[in-house]
Structure 1
Amino acid sequence: MTTALILFAHGARDPEWANPMRRVQAVIRQRMTTVPVELAFLEFMAPTLTDCAAGLIAQGADKIVVMPMFVARGGHLKKETPEMLAALRASYPHVEFSLGNAIGEHELVVQAMATAALEVAGL
């Protein structure tokens, strides 16, 4: 089974907005050189989740983990993303799709944000 990872971010009109997400992608690629890692966007930017998944499947992925690069689980992750994954599963029934929790809800990230906020505040 070939597993691929899609970092799924919101997107923005300003192309520089994606720079931190591209840095995360680069770090993961350095750590996991045999795992395809792509960055997809919900809106305003390309590629979309659908386009990204199609490209990975064309390259041989038969398991795709979608990691939401969102601070918290709101409407996009509760409604739209499951609908997108349902459509992908219907289009590619031979591919296993899984959806992670919002990255910002992971305890490691919560602790890192708290540490950064205290450091920036000089506390």
Structure 2
Amino acid sequence: MTAPLVPVAHGSRDPRSAATVRGLVERVREQAPGAGVYESFLDLSEPRVTDVLRRLYEQGHRSAVVVPLLLGSAFHARVDLPALVAEVQADCPGFDVRVSDVLGVDPVLEEVALDRLAGAGLGGPGSGLVVSAVGSSNTGANAAVADLAARWEARLGIPVTEAFASAAQPDVPAAVERLRARGVERIAVASWFLAPGLLPDRVAALAREADRGVYLAAPLGTEPRVAAAVLRRYEAAHRHVPA
């Protein structure tokens, strides 16, 4: 039996976030017809990943692959999710649950995020870009976003800086100040978020305070290339699941 695919998102009090995750998972199903694909969440939204895994075990599955729908490898990926999987495996003898790599800073996802900026008019004199992300206490996760901003600056030929919605600096106002100091007059904000929600809204509000004409790009969302990335993570982890 092929191991079910269980995409797991963080979860949010904002219903738009869970709706977007469900839409993305539907795109995954479309790209993998006949496969068992079951959305889940770590917290704040239903169904919880532990409930989904236990239900699969009760249905007779003896393996599953969990794919974290996370754009950084920080506390949720390194601590929360492994603890929840271990809890399920302790209660479900013989259940082999593999956890794939996070989506992370994938080149294909970078292209999706850049495509979201198509209407921003970047490239002209005086333009600059803020790459907005969630932020973390994990310095490696924040550094990955800073590296992303540096690559985009080299590629686009304009000033680019990162900004974090929480837990890290620079925040949006500080990022805008950085760009202003470099002569930027027209600012666009790229979204390194999977779905709309409270943190992307915070980024948007702060950006508008700094520049009423700011261009705000949409999150990655349900784009088919994001779904394909989810399947690639699944396939890489599934190769190690015993037959």
TM-score, normalised with respect to structure 2 = 0.47
Shift in CA distance, 105/96, structure 1 to aligned 2, threshold 3 Å: farther
* Number of residue-to-residue matches in the alignment: 122
Q: Does 1:73 align with 2:73?
A: yes
Question: Which letter does structure 1 place at the counterpart of 2:82?
Answer: P
Contact 1:11-1:17 at 8 Å conserved across structures? yes
**In the alignment, what sits opposite 2:22?**
22
Partner of 2:104: 104
Q: Percent sequence identity over matched residues?
A: 27
* Matches for 1:48-63 after TM superposition, within 5 Å: 48-63=48-63
Q: Which runs of 5+ in 2 are unaligned?
A: 123-243
User: What's the TM-score, normalizing by structure 1?
Assistant: 0.87
Secondary structure of the 2:109 match is helix
Determine the structure 1 residue equivalent to 2:87: 87
Write the distance in 2 (CA, Å) between the matches of 1:87 and 1:106.
Answer: 30
- Specify the alignment match of 1:115 in structure 2: 115
Structure 1 runs (4+) deviating above 3 angstroms are none
Instruction: Quote how far apart the aligned CAs of 1:120 are.
Output: 4.0
Distance (whole Å) between structure 2 residues aligned to residue 105 and residue 90 of structure 1: 32
Bigger radius of gyration, 1 or 2?
2
Deviations 1:24-69 (A, max 9, x none): 1111112222221111111111111110111222233222111111
Contact 1:2 1:62 survives alignment (8 Å): no
For the residues of structure 2 that align with 1:114 and 1:106, how far apart are their CA atoms?
12
1:84-108 residue CA offsets vs partner (Å, 9 max, x unmatched) = 1111222223221111122133332
CA RMSD, Structure 1 to Structure 2 (Å): 1.7
Secondary structure of 2:80's partner?
helix
Q: 2:32 aligns to what?
A: 32
